[in-house]
């Protein structure tokens, strides 16, 4: 078992995209727990949402023992505010608040069902994280734009199955 105080080197993905070189073991755990709590606000974390989380956290460099904990986390009764307070990294310029909202929306949309309850949980998280409403809306629109660009790429490269 890894010591919760242990510092885990970040993946090349995090280094390149966010400038994060390391994060506490506990931050990896709680980042995933926060995402599970938000995506599970509708009463269920779907298989697609859990797969999104596992793939994302592997890309971020989370240890496998952290990812294993996600499968047994009791997200339905979790204290989101307490979880959010336990997330930190080595870069003062990284916006935990905006990054977490971005990933929470992506994860919640992974099953093509961004429910009202999930949207309310994102808004609650935004308030707890002190993210302004216009920034939260812009993050939501960014994800919608990214999804549209992905669909366009698939259509242009003929990798999308047409119905």
Can you spell out the DSSP letters for 1-60? ---TT-EEEPPHHHHHHH---EEEHHHHHHHHHHHHHHHGGGS---HHHHHHHHHHHHHH
**What is the rounded CA–CA span in Å between residue 69 and residue 128?**
24
Whats the size of the chain, residue-wise?
A: 163
Domains with residue ranges and CATH for the chain? 7-156 (1.10.3680.10)
Q: What is the pLDDT along the chain (163 residues), one digit of tens a residue?
A: 555 568 888 899 988 888 888 888 898 999 999 999 999 999 999 999 999 999 999 999 999 999 999 999 999 999 999 998 888 776 666 778 999 999 999 999 999 999 999 999 999 999 999 999 999 999 999 999 999 999 999 999 987 666 5
Cα–Cα separations (whole angstroms), residue 76 to 45, 121, 143: 10, 12, 25
The C-alpha atoms of residue 18 and residue 162 are separated, in whole angstroms, by 36
């Amino acid at each position: 078992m890894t010591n919760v105080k242990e510092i885990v080197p970040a993946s090349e993905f995090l280094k390149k995209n966010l400038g994060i070189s390391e994060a506490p073991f506990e931050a990896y755990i709680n980042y995933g727990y926060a995402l599970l709590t938000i995506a599970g606000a509708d009463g269920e974390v779907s298989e697609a949402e859990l797969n999104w989380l596992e793939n994302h956290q592997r890309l971020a460099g989370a240890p496998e023992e952290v990812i294993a904990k996600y499968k047994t986390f009791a997200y339905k009764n979790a204290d989101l505010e307490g979880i959010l307070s336990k997330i930190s990294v080595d870069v003062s310029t990284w916006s935990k608040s905006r990054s977490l909202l971005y990933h929470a929306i992506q994860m919640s949309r992974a099953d093509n069902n961004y429910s009202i309850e999930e949207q309310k949980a994102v808004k609650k998280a935004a308030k707890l994280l002190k993210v302004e409403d216009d920034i939260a809306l812009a993050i939501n629109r960014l994800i919608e734009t990214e999804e549209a660009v992905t669909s366009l790429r698939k259509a242009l490269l003929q990798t999308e199955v047409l119905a």
